[in-house]
Amino acid sequence: MSRLLACLKQLQARSLIHNTTLLQPSCNVNSVYLGADPTAASLHVGNLVALMPLVHFFLNGFPVFTVIGDATAQLGDPSGRSTSRKQMAETTRTANSNSIHNQLKDLSSSILSYAQDCNYPFSQMPSSSQWSIVRNSSWYENLKLLKFLSSVGPHVRVSQMLARDSVTTRLQSPSGLSFAELTYQLLQAYDYSYLYENHSVNLQIGGSDQWGNITAGTDLVRRTHPNANVYALTTPLLTSSSGQKLGKSAGNAIWLDPKLTDSYSLYQYFISAPDDLACKCLDMLTLLPLEQLEQIKAEHEKDPSQRIVHKYLASNVVRMVHGKKALELAQIQTKLLHGAHQAPFGFYSEAPQQGDSFPSLPEIRALFKDCKFYRTIDSSIKDQPFSRLLRTLQIYTSRKEATEHILSGAVSLGHKPILDSNYKFPDNSLFVLRAGKRTFVLDSL
């Protein structure tokens, strides 16, 4: 079996293909690319779906490129959006590009290690040098406007530009479409053309909302190079239970950067995912052997309450994205906060309530101090009534909201519900706080 067929077999079996022009046995892929817009400081879980086909091509020995669109981000991609993007400061765009560049660099190394752990069926063992990270500003910074228009403009038909879904949807919306957004597809098409001419790239990957932009690129390359064989491949979009795309614009992003979404939170995101989403993501977002995936899902069906699929999914995504040590930490944190064998922990000074086998107080603090849900209660706020304290710690948006939840029994410390809004948090103590479905660690030591 050829490298390409082996790769496509993996993608099809894992439901990673939404649409593609790679339909004929004679198709020949040289190099592959995926774009990433630096509109945030990190990639998010939604980006992983489009990233995984690139990973499979990389693991099958194909040279791959991730293109950070630091130049095109100045315009804003209208695909999948109902409104225009806000203009981003150049310093922010540069900082985001640097952050994503470093993230992709770390991710490429972590993925190769993870694939080996999964006994991935490599067609050809890849080298880290086969994964290149570039910025499209490197070819736009010296490109003059008239040169661009004279080289690209004659090959593009306005009727085709206006017919693309990303354009027609916005033209019919109250906010309309700016000229800058309309021309975004020309620049993405030029990216493809540049990569084809300079790096022999002839396959672009993207989410299903990128189909119009990607095929604009294949059209441009074919018009400027009549004998070119260039292809497009899109992946399904990862959506929430309500059908909303998981992305930063929707305000529900789970970031891949551990500084923005720690490993515990990333782990818990998948542990708490709906069953149908978890089963889908197990196929798409892990590199476990196909046979093992079926075994895991069959075992899960016997007793869904054990969340077997969720545990495999959470463990594998954290291992792939954050590494082995981060996974070990997330699993320890999960056991301490959610383990069925013991009540949530609570400490008074140096004496743990759980017995000698439980981690010591310094160990507990070390495990959680870098987590987003860790809260320190210092001397300036320790005497506040409990409802006000929860507002000060930004657990609730108002004291009234905190009081309502306390009186309804939705707030507990350790295993004990707190029903008094004037309760004083004990000095020299560390507790798990449950606030509805949310979990925090409060430390007044």
Show binding-site residues for ATP: 37, 248
Helices of type H across 341-424: 361-368, 386-392, 399-407
Neighbours of 334 (CB within 10 A): 17
Q: Answer whether 51's CB lies under 8 Å from 34's CB.
A: yes
- The span from the CA of 376 to the CA of 247, in Å, is 31
- Give yes or no for a contact between 212 and 168, defined as CB atoms under 8 angstroms apart: no
Contact call for residues 103 and 320 (beta carbons, < 8 A): no
The string over 87-121, giving b where at least 16 C-beta atoms fall within 10 Å of a residue's C-beta and e elsewhere, is: ebeeeebeebbebbbebbeebbebbbebbeebebe
Q: Is 386 strand, coil or helix?
A: helix
Q: How far apart are CA 322 and CA 45, in angstroms?
A: 13
Contact between residue 75 and residue 55 where contact means Cβ atoms under 8 Å apart = no
Cα distance between residue 438 and residue 373, in whole Å: 9
Select from 98, 96, 104 the least CA-distant residue to 40.
96
Side chain identity at 256, as an amino acid letter? L
Strands 351-352 and 346-348: antiparallel
Strand partners, 435: 411, 438
Q: Which residues contact 306 (CB under 8 A, 6 or more apart)?
A: 300
Return the sign of the alpha-carbon dihedral for residues 196, 199, 202, 207: negative
402, 421 Cβ separation under 8 angstroms: yes
Cβ contact 109:131 at 8 Å: no
Q: Which helix (H) or strand (E) holds 439?
A: strand 438-443
Q: Three-state secondary structure along 280-318?
A: HHHHHHCCCCHHHHHHHHHHHHHCHHHCHHHHHHHHHHH
289 DSSP 8-state letter: -
In whole angstroms, give the CA distance from residue 302 to residue 255. Answer: 32
Which residues are documented as binding site for L-tyrosine? Answer: 33, 77, 184, 188, 191, 210
- Output the known binding site: 33, 37, 77, 184, 188, 191, 210, 248
